[in-house]
């Protein structure tokens, strides 16, 4: 099968189109014919080696964390899916590889594709929607009328997180440039701060939850808009000792992550704010709940561009540019 791979970590290099063996099917796996694959900043970070401490991959590696396609084969223990099912998934770490013609995925990480979405729309959903779900539902446990600040509202995670937070009854603030205001108002944002000429720190206060996806400076500013007892949940780091424990990291990684996050953890503790780091996990059951929200029109995908498979490098470069509104997808079939 054809696939886009890296043979070594690359700061500036491109992915290579290569012939790779069709993935081996384990007893609990489904083999998916890939119709479309979402492109995420995570792919870029793995390509450059930024995450090799917490995700030590064997090379060569096929990148890609989002898939929509059709099941062509099932392992002998698979109970919930059959050949011919249209599905979507965020495969689990160490089983990624959706920039390819086929992928084998454990059935627990798979859900039936929403009936009202195209393959390209469905491929845009899993990673960002699971991230939003795990931050807002699992970690933050958002309640009616709580105030939530979601950074970078027009990005992949932002566009879905705003819709989910609105469904949960929250009041939502976000940051964006003026050209995205109309889109974000339609998605449900209540307060939009134009980051180009205004500082959210001067506009927002007494928030219950912050979903941080930006740099260290923004993370520290976010701390100052939270009320006592608030939650600062970061998906861009720095990772915490709790996260190191969760992934059963070796002792030296635990020490490194503890040092990296010690400053923000201390500042958060002084303000009586709970700081945590979230690295989203594959979860077919949660994706099934997201499917219900999509099919009932509560969550809609926001698709910026669809690239043909041979332009995977261009798609990744476009995501890296930070210009995308919503998601970027590669059409494979």
| CA distances, 3 to each of 63, 66, 282, 309 (Å) | 9, 14, 22, 9
Number of alpha carbons in the 13 Å side-chain half-sphere of residue 306: 16
With H, G, I as helix, E, B as strand and everything else as coil, classify residue 237: coil
CATH topology of domain 128-277: Rossmann fold (3.40.50)
Query: What string of pLDDT tens digits covers the 333 residues of the chain?
Result: 999 999 999 888 899 999 999 999 999 999 999 999 999 999 999 999 999 988 999 999 999 999 999 999 999 999 999 999 999 999 999 999 999 999 999 999 999 999 999 999 999 999 999 999 999 999 999 999 999 999 999 999 999 999 999 999 999 999 999 999 999 999 999 999 999 999 999 999 999 999 999 999 999 999 999 999 999 999 999 999 999 999 999 999 999 999 999 999 999 999 999 999 999 999 999 999 999 999 999 999 999 999 999 999 999 999 999 999 999 999 999
CB atoms within 10 A of CB 163: 24
71: left (phi over 0), alpha (psi -120 to 50) or beta: beta
Q: What is the pLDDT of residues 31-78, one digit of tens each?
A: 999 999 999 999 999 999 999 988 999 999 999 999 999 999 999 999
Cβ neighbour number for residue 318 with a 10 Å cutoff? 17
CA–CA separation, 162 and 185 (whole Å): 10
Q: Can 2-125+301-331 and 128-277 be said to share one CATH topology?
A: no
3-state secondary structure of 35: strand
| Residue 205 burial (CB count, 10 A) | 11
SS3 129: helix
The secondary structure of residue 141, as a DSSP letter, is: -
Q: How many CB atoms lie within 10 A of CB 134?
A: 19
The pTM (predicted TM-score) of the whole model is: 0.97
Closest CA to 57 of 119, 111, 9: 9
Q: Which residues touch 278 (CB under 8 Å, ≥6 apart)?
A: 131, 134, 135, 139, 233, 234, 235
Q: Give the per-residue pLDDT at 227.
A: 98
The residue extents of the domains of the chain are 2-125+301-331, 128-277
Q: Tell me how far CA of residue 142 lies from CA of 23, 126, 271, in angstroms.
A: 39, 20, 20
Which homologous superfamily is 2-125+301-331 in?
Answer: Medium-chain alcohol dehydrogenases, catalytic domain (3.90.180.10)
N-to-C CA span, the chain: 13
């Amino acid at each position: 099968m054809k696939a886009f791979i890296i043979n070594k970590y690359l700061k500036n290099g491109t992915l290579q189109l290569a012939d790779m063996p069709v993935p081996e099917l384990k007893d609990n796996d489904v083999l998916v014919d890939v119709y479309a694959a979402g492109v995420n900043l995570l792919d870029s970070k793995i390509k450059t080696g930024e995450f090799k401490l917490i995700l030590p991959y064997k090379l060569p590696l096929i990148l890609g964390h989002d898939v929509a396609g059709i099941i062509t084969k099932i392992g002998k223990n698979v109970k919930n899916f059959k050949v011919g099912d249209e599905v979507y998934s965020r495969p689990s770490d160490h089983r990624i590889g959706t920039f390819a013609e086929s992928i084998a995925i454990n059935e627990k990480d798979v859900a039936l594709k929403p009936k009202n979405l195209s393959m390209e729309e469905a491929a845009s959903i899993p990673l960002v929607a699971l991230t939003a779900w795990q931050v807002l539902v699992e970690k933050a446990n958002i309640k009616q009328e709580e105030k939530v600040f979601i950074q970078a509202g027009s990005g992949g995670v932002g566009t879905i997180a705003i819709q989910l937070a609105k469904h949960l009854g929250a009041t939502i603030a976000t940051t964006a440039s003026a050209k995205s205001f109309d889109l974000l108002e339609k998605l449900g944002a209540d307060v939009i701060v134009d980051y180009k000429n205004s500082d959210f720190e001067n506009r927002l206060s007494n928030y219950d939850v912050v979903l941080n996806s930006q740099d260290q400076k923004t993370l520290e500013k976010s701390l100052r808009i939270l009320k006592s007892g608030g939650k600062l949940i970061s998906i861009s780091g720095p990772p915490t000792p709790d996260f190191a424990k969760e992934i059963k990291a070796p002792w030296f990684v635990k020490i490194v992550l503890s040092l990296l996050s010690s400053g923000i953890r201390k500042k958060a503790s002084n303000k009586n704010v709970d700081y945590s780091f979230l690295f989203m996990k594959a979860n077919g059951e949660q994706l099934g709940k997201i499917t219900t929200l999509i099919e009932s029109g509560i969550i809609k995908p926001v698709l910026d561009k669809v690239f043909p498979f041979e332009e995977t490098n261009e798609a990744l470069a476009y995501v890296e540019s930070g210009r995308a509104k919503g998601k970027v997808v590669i059409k494979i079939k």
